[in-house]
Structures are given as C-alpha cells and as structure tokens.
Amino acid sequence: MSSPLRKNNNSYLDVNPSVKSAIDNGEPVVALESTIICHGMPYPKNLETALNVEKTVKQNGAIPATVAILDGRLKAGISEDEMHFLAKQGDKINKVSRRDIPLSIARQNHGATTVAATMIIASLAKISFFATGGIGGVHRNINESLDVSADLTELAKTNVAVVCSGVKSILDIPKTMEYLETHGVPVIGYKTKAMPAFYSRESQCLVDYSCENTRQIAEILKIKWDIPLMGGIVVANPIPEEYSIDSSKIANVIDGALKEMKLKKITGKRTTPFLLSKVAEKTGGESLEANIQLVLNNARLAAKIASDYNDLKSAIKNEK
Ligand code: PSU
Ligand code: MN
C-alpha cells in the first residue's frame, strides 16, 4: 500500500461531486455523522435511518453529505453502497473523534466520525450546517473520570452549526451547559426555553436564547461568523411531542447502566457507546423509534436554517 502522505491538508479530503457542485453554486448543504450509524443504532435500522435522513434533507431543499473516513480518506458525502458497508460493519468500524483522525489516515483505516470529527471534515469541505441526534457532553462521573466529550471543545473552535436534540441524560446536562458557556458556544433553543434532554422535550436547564424561526438563527450565525467569532453554535430542537418519552421512565435505566459501567470498568471512548447501547437494550423499540424521529426532525430543521442562511447571504450581496 502506498504512503497516504500528501502535500497539503485538502489532499486528504474527498468531497462528493453532488456536494461540491452545491457548495460551488451557493446551494445549502447539511453534513451528517456516521458514529450514529455504526455505534448508535442496530442494523438494519441504522441503514434505513441514514438513507431516510439524507432523503429528508433533500426534501427540505438542501444537499446531504454523510461524513466518514474510508480507507484513510476523509469523505464529505458517501455513496449508498458505502453507507450499506458502514451500516453492516457497525461497531467493527472504529469510532473516530478529533484525536483519531491522523492515525486513521496514516493507517488507511475506515472510521465512523463523531460530532467533533464530522465538524472538522465538514468545515474542510466548507459545509457550515450539520444535523444529528445528540452531541457528547460532560459525563456524570466527571470528578473521577474527567470525561468531557471532544464535541464540546470542537464547538468552541470550528465554524459549524450543529442541530441536535440536546444531550442524553446519560450525561450531566447542567455541567455540559456550563462548559459550553465557558467556551463561548451559544445554545439556541428552537421554539423552546428549556434545554431538551434527547428523549424528552425538556430538562431542568434553560437554554441561553430561544428563537421562533429559522431566519433568526441564520442571522445570528451570519453575524457570529462575520465578526468573526470562531466556533459553532448548538441549535437545540426538542423531539416531536408524539415520540417523546417520559424522563422518569429513562432515569432508572440510566442509573443501572452507569452502575454496570463502573463494575465493568468501562472508560474512555467506549463510555458513550456502552451507555447508549444499554439504554437501547432496556427500553427496546420505543427509544430507537424516538431516536430515529428526532434525527429526522433535526435534518428538516438544519436544511431550513442552511437555506435561510444562503438566502440571507445572497440578499446582502445583491444589496451592494
Ligand atoms: N449521543 C447520542 N448518540 C450518539 C452519540 C452521542 O445520543 O450517537 C455519539 C455522537 O457521535 C457523539 C459521540 O459525537 O457519541 C460522543 O462520543 P464521546 O462522548 O466519546 O465524545
Ligand atoms: Mn469521553
């Protein structure tokens, strides 16, 4: 196998032709992550969902770009065959966050990208919008583990807006909010004043700001990046009411999963996938369906924000 070393950073990146032409023509593009495919949902629901999420982005006027690493190449936009491959391989594919990117390239490995790694690759490909389910955060056992997801530090420095349904209550939501504040990451609730808690529409925490329409969110982003203040924002979009699960129903399951994690001495990057799979196992189909529906809902919203942002940009250009 020849050396993967290249002369400059762009040579490590493959932008899918449909994505490239959209970017060149100023059309809206929405990035999607692949850890959720390989480590977040079981086969074949993961495949079905990944395909439906791409379809939903298209139906809402934007071009989807599912991000992954294949044979050490950073991919902004993968084919349907590649999506089948990742979905089937599941957790045999390495979970890749910021730390793991150089090694994945050097070893010409495949990688399922987390929120942090997806933001990095999206930003290299000039994609500014990204939809997912939940972001990583500050873990509940922070005092012992110092476990803070690299998603949070990425949001502080990489210019990508992440539309999600908050963070799962496997994490410490108040501490996650504090951490984002320290790092200057705005958290905007979409039609909500409460920070959503993934399966449920509300947590005990308030969001910093609430917006009633996508145009307002697009304006805030345009201003942030015009200044420029580096880094992303979190758009927190509550799960649709009809799919939400009562938080007390999930609380016991999470407590049990945290105890089991301690007993099994699970640490580091295995923590999040372990907790996610325990919640899925104990709550069965209900939580999986909720997860699927909230991701689709976030894909819709991200496509709309991306379209409004591009409209805003061209309106300002035409004024001049
Ligand atoms: N939270 C979820 N579902 C997920 C993840 C988080 O509800 O699939 C995944 C995302 O890819 C996120 C990653 O970026 O887990 C965070 O992992 P860690 O805590 O190791 O940074
Ligand atoms: Mn961690």
* Residues framing ligand 1 (Cβ under 6 A): 33, 35-36, 40, 97, 114-115, 133-136, 149-151, 168, 198, 269, 272, 276
Residue with tokens 């905007």: 188
Residue 195: half-sphere exposure toward Cβ, Cα within 13 Å:
24
Neighbours of 106 (CB within 10 A): 12
Instruction: Report how far residue 74's alpha carbon sits from residue 31's, in angstroms, rounded to the nearest whole number.
Output: 13
- 168 is annotated as an active-site residue: yes
Instruction: Report how far residue 195's alpha carbon sits from residue 167's, in angstroms, rounded to the nearest whole number.
Output: 9
Give the model's pLDDT for residue 10. 72
Backbone φ and ψ for 222, nearest 5 degrees, come out as -60, -45
CA of 195 to the centre of ligand 2 (A): 21
Sequence-separated (6 or more) residues with CB below 8 Å from residue 252:
none
Query: Which residue has the least CA distance to atom 7 on ligand 1?
Result: 134
Q: Please identify, by atom number, the ligand 1 atom nearest to the C-alpha of residue 40.
A: 8
Q: Quick one: pLDDT band at residue 131, thresholds 50, 70, 90?
A: very high
Neighbours of 150 (CB within 10 A): 19
Mean pLDDT across the stretch 137-159? 96
Q: Return contacts of 100-108, CB within 8 angstroms, 24+ apart.
A: 101/69, 101/74, 104/69, 104/72, 105/4, 105/12, 105/69, 105/72, 105/73, 105/74, 106/4, 106/72, 107/72, 108/1, 108/4, 108/71, 108/72
Query: Which residue has the least CA distance to atom 11 on ligand 1?
Result: 114
Q: Please identify, by atom number, the ligand 1 atom nearest to the C-alpha of residue 36.
A: 8
Cis status, amide bond into 228, omega within 30 of 0: yes
Mean pLDDT across the stretch 307-314? 96
Q: Quick one: pLDDT band at residue 9, thresholds 50, 70, 90?
A: low
For residue 148, the 8-state DSSP code is B
Mutate to test the pocket of ligand 1, among 151, 200, 279, 298 (most ligand atoms within 8 A of CB): 151
Strand locations in 149-301, DSSP E?
Answer: 161-164, 187-190, 209-211, 233-236
Q: Quick one: pLDDT band at residue 249, thresholds 50, 70, 90?
A: confident
The overall pTM is greater than 0.85 = yes
Take residue 242 and report the two structure tokens written for it.
């009809």
Which tens digits make up the pLDDT trace of 56-78? 999 999 999 999 999 999 999 99
Q: What percentage of residues in the chain have a pLDDT greater than 70?
A: 99
Q: Quick one: pLDDT band at residue 6, thresholds 50, 70, 90?
A: confident
Which tens digits make up the pLDDT trace of 204-226? 999 999 999 999 999 999 999 99
Mean pLDDT across the stretch 226-254? 95
Residue with tokens 């035409």: 318
Give the model's pLDDT for residue 248. 87
Neighbours of ion ligand 2 (CB under 5 A): 147
CA of 116 to the centre of ligand 1 (A): 9
